[in-house]
Amino acid sequence: MPHKYVMLLSVKCCSVLLRSKRSISTIVPPRRGTYAKIDDADIAHFERFLGKDNVITKDVDEYNIDWMKWFKGSSSCVLFPKSADGVSQILRYCFARRLAIVPQSGNTGLVGGSIPVYDEIVLSLRKLNTHYHFEPQTGVVECDAGIILEDLDNRLAPEGYMVPLDLGAKGSCFIGGNISTAAGGLRMIRFGSLHNHVLGLQVVLPDEKGTIVKFGSGLKKDNTNLHMHHLFIGAEGQLGVVTRIWMNVIPRLPSTQVAMLGVPSFEKCREIVRLSRDRLGEVLSALELIDANSMHCVLEDDSFHPILRSDPAFYILVETIGSDERHDKEKVAKFLDEAMEHGLLVDGVQALSREEASYMWRVREAVPVALARSGYVFKHDVCLPLQHFYTLTEVVKHRLGLDGLKARVFTFGHIGDGNSHLNIVTKGYSPDVADDREEASYMWRVREAVPVALARSGYVFKHDVCLPLQHFYTLTEVVKHRLGLDGLKARVFTFGHIGDGNSHLNIVTKGYSPDVADELYPFIYDWVVINGGSISAEHGIGQLKRPFMGFGKGHEIEIAKRLKEVFDPRRILSPYKML
């Protein structure tokens, strides 16, 4: 690995990792800190103020294992506070006793952020879900952090409003966890990030008093302070525990239009992104890219039929949301006509009914499920400049050398915001991770979660990056090149959110090989940073990306660590992870 790559890093372990080319699967966590170990007296104390029903010490595996089956902690105690006061008492006591603690929402995360590394206490927000108030005149909702995202959206529906966030895991994830991970979702190209909508947060700090602080407010305009609530959006529970949210929600518009486009090349995909922004700007809500390999993988399931008559190199799903159905249909039709006239499309279909629109989305959501059935998955979720959105796929293909490793590489994602999902799939499982098919039923409960469904049939290395639009597909090409496409008979698949640069690149092989991991990590993250992208587009850092979080960040990491000391002076909250 060239020395210039090492110079990007500000975390010592990352430099060592790059020089040694160690696989991500061989990285060991930091040593256990000098925290106290929980004892019977601690359990009795928690039971006194929380109640015995809100303290469990047996059958705690579901809180110790992420549902991707990547990480397993050894916590012997899970606490269920029902209020901010309860959280405050817990943190105050843990501060005094120097007990490490991990906040946990719906446990649907993909990087191990809510799972104990050792024996940390789990603070579950499952029962912090009673407070809800909506003001229809202002469009501001106030709610507890433990409310499920889909439940919150359903409560707003009768008022004609919706949450400006849509995730596949919406039936399981909590709004507090969405805030703490700065979740992106399918329609970020339209509504922007959660930073645009969160007005205020109630946070409990892990200090001597378990201080309860309201950062921001419920007002749409409030310039009386430093807007510190933004520090907790995406902080992954490192600075405090979010217990209540004030959020600006959006009107639920009645008209939704969906079209599936067949595009002959990635260069023309980039032109489609530009044209869609120009012609559909005020109503454009989603741009999803699927490469031909990924579509073929979906169509191997006989329950799906082709949407287009042609077999293009790329498919783009376009969605608009507006208030006038007739106007929106005409607008989409004109957009399709213009794209055809300019030679950007080889085929295209506009949904004429809700059923057709729903089917198009089902095909998009089926991609990661289909890949998971193909075997072992090394999953990446990165953000890249649009010009490199697919290049990484080609690079990885070349790097792995497709004949010897028999891997398949898949890319999909949110091309509108540069978020690419790169997945390398094999038939085998890592010897270090248990094969847990029994949990398939749980997987199906969150089956709409596109970035996580690949775990259904195998071990998944997941990556979450964002790239500039011009590099959206470049990553795919880079991966293909890196794996050595000619000799190894591997398949490389690309799909994603082309509107926001989020590409999903998947590499599939017939069997697991540690050589694949050694070729992919840290190469992919290094390549993403070199080309102006982010190694974490949607899913955060957690345990999975901790060794790589310093890539391209420099002094920024040191400043973040100083903030950690201010809010969490004894570092009892979520140790061994982001900071």
Q: How far is CA 489 from CA 157, 295, 297, 356, 403, in A?
A: 49, 18, 15, 35, 5
Q: What is the pLDDT of residue 7?
A: 24
Q: How far is CA 292 from CA 42, 295, 314, 427, 452, in A?
A: 56, 5, 5, 21, 21
CA 357 to chain centre: 24
How far is Cα 230 from Cα 417, in angstroms, rounded to an integer? 20
| Location of each CATH 3.30.465.10 domain in the chain | 38-252+542-578
| Location of each CATH 3.30.70.2740 domain in the chain | 436-539
Burial 432-457 (b: 16+ CB within 10 A, else e): ebeebeebeeebeebbbbbbbbbbbb
How far is Cα 245 from Cα 232, in angstroms, rounded to an integer? 11
As given in the structure block, the two tokens for residue 445 are: 């409960």
Omega prior to 522 cis, within 30 of 0: yes
CB 498 within 8 A of CB 287: yes
Backbone φ and ψ for 11, nearest 5 degrees, come out as: -110, 125
Q: Domain 436-539 has what CATH class?
A: alpha beta
Q: What single-letter amino acid sits at 135? A: E
Q: What is the pLDDT of residues 353-385, one digit of tens each?
A: 999 999 999 999 888 778 878 776 777 788 888
Q: What is the pLDDT of residue 174?
A: 98
How far is Cα 457 from Cα 214, in angstroms, rounded to an integer? 43
For domain 255-426, which CATH number applies: 3.30.70.2190, 3.30.420.40, 1.10.230.10, 3.30.450.20? 3.30.70.2190
Q: What are residue 413's DSSP bridge partners?
A: 289, 496
Per-run averaged pLDDT (10 residues), the chain, 579 residues: 27 32 53 96 98 97 87 97 99 98 94 95 98 97 98 98 90 96 89 96 98 96 94 97 98 96 95 96 93 91 94 96 95 96 96 95 88 75 82 79 61 77 66 33 32 40 63 74 56 71 68 70 87 85 87 86 97 94
Q: Domain 38-252+542-578 has what CATH class?
A: alpha beta
As given in the structure block, the two tokens for residue 406 are: 């028999």
- Provide Rg for the chain, Cα atoms: 23
Least Cα distance to 469 among 258, 346, 287 occurs for 287
Q: What is the pLDDT of residue 203?
A: 99
How far is Cα 410 from Cα 505, in angstroms, rounded to an integer? 5
Q: What is the pLDDT of residue 363?
A: 94
